[in-house]
Structures are given as C-alpha cells and as structure tokens.
Amino acid sequence: MVKTVSYTHSNSYEVLYPILPTTKNIWLCFHGLGYLSKFFKKYFESLDSTTNAVIIPQAPSKFYLGTKFKHVGASWLTRVDTNQEMQNNLNYLDQVMSQEKIVGDPRLILMGYSQGVSIATRLLKNYAQPIKALIMHSGSIPAELTAEDGKLFQANCNRFIHIAGTKDEYLTDELIEREENKIELLFGTDCELHRPDIKHEVDAGLMATISKTL
C-alpha cells in the first residue's frame, strides 16, 4: 500500500546578477540533469549585469556522480511519481519567485537547458501570466502538452526560442521529428530556431547574443 505525506522542505537557489533599477530582463534558468545551480550559473556570466538579472533555481534531488562519489549533481524529476514531483517543483518555484518579487513581472524570461526544458515549459503552463520569452535549449518538450496549452503559451509569451546543437549526441531522427511536431503544435510558426554547431552543451555565446535582442 502506497501512502502520501506532506512536509516542509527547504531548498537553495543562486542569484548570479540581482535585479537592479536598470534591469530589462529577469532570467529564471533551469539546469539539466546532473548539474548544480552554483556551477550552471557560469554559462550566463557573459550577460550584461546592468540589464540582465539571473536567478538559478536548484533541482531538489541530489545524487553522487560517477563511481568515486566525489561530485554531486541533481535531478528535477523522473518517470516515477512525475506529477507529484512536478507539483513539488512548482511549489518551490512559487516561493523562489515570491521571494525575489518577480511574480507577474513582464520582464521574466524562462530558460531551460536539457531536463530544464521540461521544467520551464510546465512552469509556464501553470504560471499562466505574461512573460517576455521562453528559451528551450537542448531538451525535450513534455509529451503531455497539448494544442490548448499552446494557445495559453502564445497568449502569455512574447517570444519562443528553441536551440538544438547539430552535434548533440542525444539527438536521434525520431527525437528530432517528435520535437519538430511539438514545436509546430505549441508555437506554430512563432518559434525561432537556432541550430549551433555544438554538442549537448550550453551555448554561452548564443545566450549572450540573445540577451541583447530581448
């Protein structure tokens, strides 16, 4: 018999660049599987700190990487109890956004890398308030998102950006076709496609370039 219990949980997050009077963009960036927020933030150091605030939430489930148990990574969720874990993530992110006083701020940009794409897109669905941009970098769009979700996204987001490296070692023809279908279903022709010549890694230079156009 499986039972469920609720309890209070604390979690950290990183602020690379704080919100200033000159801030034009507020980035909420979700790392991929095996990352920690304190290391993921390095990919955004080239953004202009006077116009870009950068907040990096921390995935809650930490684990040791490799067989030497030296380095630690984290995961947002797995296929086990996915809905429950996602709700936990949403509760955490709601607290992060409330503490940073960015709920309802139209300067908000949701950026997800790898596993973080599933968090960013699901957050946008549940957030349902206007944001400046959704940036999806080298990750899969959740299968459960529908055309109705797409209408919600297009009503609440000014700009959609999808990034996938041409040398990404995790991409297959089947996955590429599935993602293209999802992009068309959710964003129509409004999604900007970037295909840099990179492997499965964050294109920090492209992030800096995009930041200047937001």
Q: What confidence tens digit (pLDDT) does each residue in 39-84 have?
A: 999 999 999 999 999 999 999 999 999 888 889 999 999 999 999 9
pTM recorded for the entire structure: 0.96
- Number of Cβ within 10 Å of residue 18's Cβ equals 11
pLDDT digits (tens, 9 = 90+) for 152-206: 999 999 999 999 999 999 999 999 999 999 999 999 888 999 999 999 999 999 9
Beta strands in the chain (DSSP E): 13-17, 25-30, 52-57, 61-65, 71-75, 108-113, 133-137, 160-163, 191-194
Q: For all residues of the chain together, what is the average pLDDT?
A: 96
The residue extents of the domains of the chain are: 13-211
Phi, psi of 7 (to 5 degrees): -155, 165
pLDDT of the residue at 66: 87
Two tokens at 150?
């797409």
Which residues 6+ apart lie within 8 Å of 190 measured at CB? 154, 160
- Cα–Cα distance for residue pair 208/103, rounded to 1 Å: 24
pLDDT of the residue at 179: 95
- Cα–Cα distance for residue pair 143/115, rounded to 1 Å: 13
Is the per-residue pLDDT at 23 higher than 90?
yes
- Are 62 and 38 in contact by the 8 Å Cβ rule? The answer is no
pLDDT confidence band for 129 (50 / 70 / 90)? very high
According to CATH, the topology of domain 13-211 is Rossmann fold (3.40.50)
pLDDT of the residue at 166: 95
- Name the amino acid, one letter, at 26: I
